[in-house]
């Protein structure tokens, strides 16, 4: 049998691997996150999903997102003490963070990906991800 590689198939197979039930709520949260381009907070995802499931609770959305981050369907990205923000994009990439509006913009750079981590760090720690985080003003916020 063939296993597609579209996001929904990945979701289904990851859930089955982990014996996580495929509930309508979980599926809806996944779709909402997968579609998001804006590194949404749990509350932002909740607002989206609520349109389809008016009765869903914030707790379910939040818990589900954390589960996703645990099983490799999303990643929790760096914030500034703001609510957690979730990133559905699992490819290696980098972030620009606007200090005015808080928007996080993805960008890609093979150059940056190639960067060598200093030997000392590699020795002392087990590195599982690396990312360049830029801060500054986005197009909208610089006048």
SS3 state of residue 16: helix
60 Cβ neighbours under 8 A, 6+ residues apart: 25, 29
Contact call for residue 99 and Zn ion (CB under 5 A):
no
In the set 76, 93, 102, 113, which binds a second copy (CB under 8 A)? 76
CB atoms within 10 A of CB 64: 26
Return residues touching Mn ion (CB under 5 A): 87, 89, 106
Contact call for residue 14 and DNA (CB under 7 A):
no
65 Cβ neighbours under 8 A, 6+ residues apart: 29, 33, 42, 45, 74, 84, 86
Contact call for residue 82 and a second copy (CB under 8 A):
yes
Show contacts with a second copy in window 99-138 (CB under 8 A). Answer: 99, 105, 107, 109, 111-112, 115-118, 120-121, 124-138
Distance CA 50, CA 90 (A): 25
Q: How many residues bind a second copy (CB under 8 A)?
A: 41
58-71 and 24-35 helices, crossing angle to 10°: 70
Show contacts with DNA in window 60-79 (CB under 7 A). Answer: 60, 62-64, 66
Min dist. Cβ of residue 89 to Zn ion (A):
20
Q: Provide the phi-psi class of 67: left if phi over 0, else alpha when psi is between -120 and 50, else beta.
A: alpha
Contact call for residue 101 and Zn ion (CB under 5 A):
yes
Q: Smaller CB distance to Zn ion: residue 65 or 98?
A: 98
In the set 10, 20, 36, 112, which binds DNA (CB under 7 A)? 20
Which parts of this chain interact with Zn ion (CB under 5 A)? 98, 100-101, 138, 141
């Amino acid at each position: 049998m063939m296993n597609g590689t579209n996001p929904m198939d990945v979701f289904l197979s990851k859930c089955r691997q982990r014996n996580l039930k495929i509930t309508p709520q979980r599926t809806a949260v996944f779709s909402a996150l997968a579609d998001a381009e804006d590194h949404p907070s749990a509350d932002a995802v909740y607002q989206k999903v609520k349109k389809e499931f008016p009765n869903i609770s914030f707790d379910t959305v939040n818990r589900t997102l954390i589960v996703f981050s645990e099983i490799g369907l999303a990643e929790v990205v760096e914030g500034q003490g703001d609510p957690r923000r979730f990133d559905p994009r699992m490819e290696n990439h980098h972030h620009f963070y606007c200090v005015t509006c808080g928007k996080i913009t993805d960008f890609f750079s093979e150059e940056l990906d190639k960067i060598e981590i200093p030997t000392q760090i590699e020795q002392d720690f087990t590195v599982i991800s690396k990312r360049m985080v830029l801060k500054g003003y986005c197009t909208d916020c610089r006048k």
